[in-house]
Chains A and B, each alone.
Chain A
Amino acid sequence: MRARLLVVLVTVVLAAVAGFAFPLLGTTAEQRTQQLVIARNADVDRFVVLAQQASDSADAAALAAEARRYAEVYSESVLVIDARRRVLASAGGLSLAQSDVSTRVEAALRNEAGPAVAPLRPWSHEPVLFARPVGSGTRVAGVVLLRASVARAANDVATWWAAIGAGALLAAMVFVVLAVLLARWVLRPLHELEGGVRAVSEGRHADLPATAGPRELRSLTTAFNRMSDAVVSASEQQRRLVADASHQLRNPMAALRLRMDSLAPSVGEPGQRGYHAAVAEVDRLESLLDGLLTLAIADSTATRLAAGDHAEEPSALETVAAERIDAWLPAAERAKIRLTGESGPAALVRCPESELAQILDVLLDNAIAYAGEDAEIRVRWTVGDGTATLTVSDTGPGLTDDEISLATQRFWRARREGAPRGTGLGLTIAHRQVGSRGGTLELRRADPRGLAALVTLPLAREDRS
């Protein structure tokens, strides 16, 4: 839009300047030509009078002297001939032998007017020939020819034209600058609105300045700010509700857990089954609560980071991976699964240690829960162009393509025989956390079987010191 607006404005500006400058060029050239013609005609007239006197007195000496002096002073040629084409006076090298001269002489003797002098241009250099018959009425007694140099007049035209050109250029520049300023003034609020839309889509307040630009856009900006505040506060409230609810539930959960644990010794044989089932439900409730809170935190982290807060420490992928593998080995052993980590290159990723650990925990937990006995889980990572990719792959039953597309949705669980009932939040949280750090989490089918989870995170610049 900016380019088009500028093209239109600049075209109009240039057309206006050109429309003003070109006629001016023509007028100045014509004026100077006119001056030249008038001045030379006066000279020619004088010679005509002198030639008349000479023919009357039959003495051309005075005329010849005058012509010589004229040629000396002005460096222009004069030729005077009588009706019988005899040279009465010649100075400066004009001669009847020259074709243009003889043509003009013949025309003048027939009392024909010469051609009009073409308007001068800065590059004109052909001398102009003036011819005038001597005598009055139909009796032509001779011809006065004057060859005038146009060099000075052309120089004057060049000076004028240069001045006009410079003036036009200056005016064009001023107008173009004005056009650019105008375009900026109109478009800046629009650019800011664009930034505002991005901010709102990332869950931030737009807070656009409504002080610049046309009045209509200013009121649009104000309205937009109000809308962004409403949107952001709505999503903020939703997040806070989840966070507060899961936080508030912690106390009753803690009391319930302690009561259940205290109850354990006093539960009799018949009640054991029911008691353990109840404890399992409490476990489930606890992990659901933790999951919801973590998800709410991950959401608010995404908002905070989108707002440009990158204060957190990066973490060393190899260290966290090694440590999480160590922590999950007992669980893997209990599930009769082989968990191995391949050491890869050192990678400092832009994600705090605790979150990277949480992401890995989700992936390892899922793999151990669903891969099944005798499966193998492998953790490895590679460093690419500005990113590190961590892969957790298993040789379990895997997921179908449909299931993979659903897996990162809230509360989705794989329906598998004998699989543990999870909260359905793990992958959602991991997905959110990776996303908030500018990375991606991708699930795909592993080769030849099983599931592979690929976490790609941006590398931190090595300036931690």
Chain B
Amino acid sequence: MRVLLVEDDDGVAGALAEALGARGHAVTRVTRGVDALGGHHEADLLLLDLGLPDIDGLDVLRKIRQVSAVPVLVLTARDDERSTVRGLRLGADDYLAKPVRLAELLARMDAVARRAGAGDEPQPDVVHVEDLEIDLAAHRVFAAGEEITLTAKEFAILAVLAARPGTAVSRQQLMDEVWGDAHLAVSRSLDVHLTWLRAKLDRPGLLGTVRGFGYRLGR
């Protein structure tokens, strides 16, 4: 995979380039936002730092999103909720705060690339997340081979999340897709359904919260 690494810190860039290179990725490193704007056409994936010397990383992200759907993984020292949410809203495919474990970074990169590649393929009918089997067509869920009974709303929420396993789905999107509407009462209702859904799945931590943004299925 051709990775464009936009990072101004030499230490991080060196470590990343080496680690990714060792796993067979072709890494091109640039330090400035302008170079990222010019170089993203030849990359399969962008690793974007937000604290760049010339342009703010979020502006780089916004400008790239106007012209390209290339997968972008934001990797930054800013781990506050606002930056995370802004990054995801501006079109980042994932958001990781430094320092990050290599295994997690590689897994997230794979997930982002897989999703980008799978865009044109038809949705699979059955999604597997850990020992969970979600049959989107038949509206059935199995955990370790045993069927779990879900209400229609609970299944709808799970289905929206299962359609993008490992990806953060915003609350807004969840509400829009499940209720077709997003007002206050629905927001509270979503909380209640999620609580029930977690209890029924009985897989602690599998259905994670992305603070201030939404939810993610899969660890």
Contacts and interface: CB of A to CB of B under 8 A. Distances in A.
B11 interface: yes
Given A255-B11, A257-B99, A261-B19, A326 B191 contact: no
Interface in A230-256: 247, 250-256
Nearest to B84: A354
B81 interface: yes
A318 B188 CA distance: 11
Q: How large is the interface on B (under 10, 10 to 19, 20 to 34, 35 or more residues)?
A: 20 to 34
Interface string B166-209: 00000000000000000010001001101100100000110111
B212 A353 contact: yes
B9 A251 contact: yes
A98 interface: no
Contacts of B209: 323, 327, 357
B201 to A, nearest CB: 9
A378 B109 CA distance: 38
B18 interface: yes
A316 B14 contact: no
Q: Which secondary structure characterizes the binding site on chain A? A: helix
A327 B18 contact: no
A326 B205 contact: yes
B34 interface: no
A255 B15 contact: yes
Interface residues of A, number: 31
B77 interface: yes
Given A251-B77, A255-B9, A326 B198 contact: yes
A262 B12 contact: no
Contact of A465 (B184, B194, B212): B184
A248 B77 CA distance: 8
A319 interface: yes
A250 B22 contact: no
A329 interface: yes
B16 interface: yes
Nearest to B196: A322
Interface stretch (B25-33, B100-108, B149-157): B100-108
B77 A262 contact: no
A46 B197 CA distance: 121
B80 interface: yes
Contacts of A6: none
22 contacts: A251-B98, A254-B99, A255-B9, A255-B12, A255-B15, A258-B16, A258-B105, A259-B15, A261-B19, A262-B19, A318-B191, A319-B192, A319-B195, A323-B198, A323-B209, A326-B207, A329-B204, A353-B211, A353-B212, A354-B211, A354-B212, A357-B211
Interface of B: 9, 11-12, 14-16, 18-19, 22, 77, 80-81, 98-103, 105, 184, 188, 191-192, 194-195, 198, 204-205, 207-209, 211-212
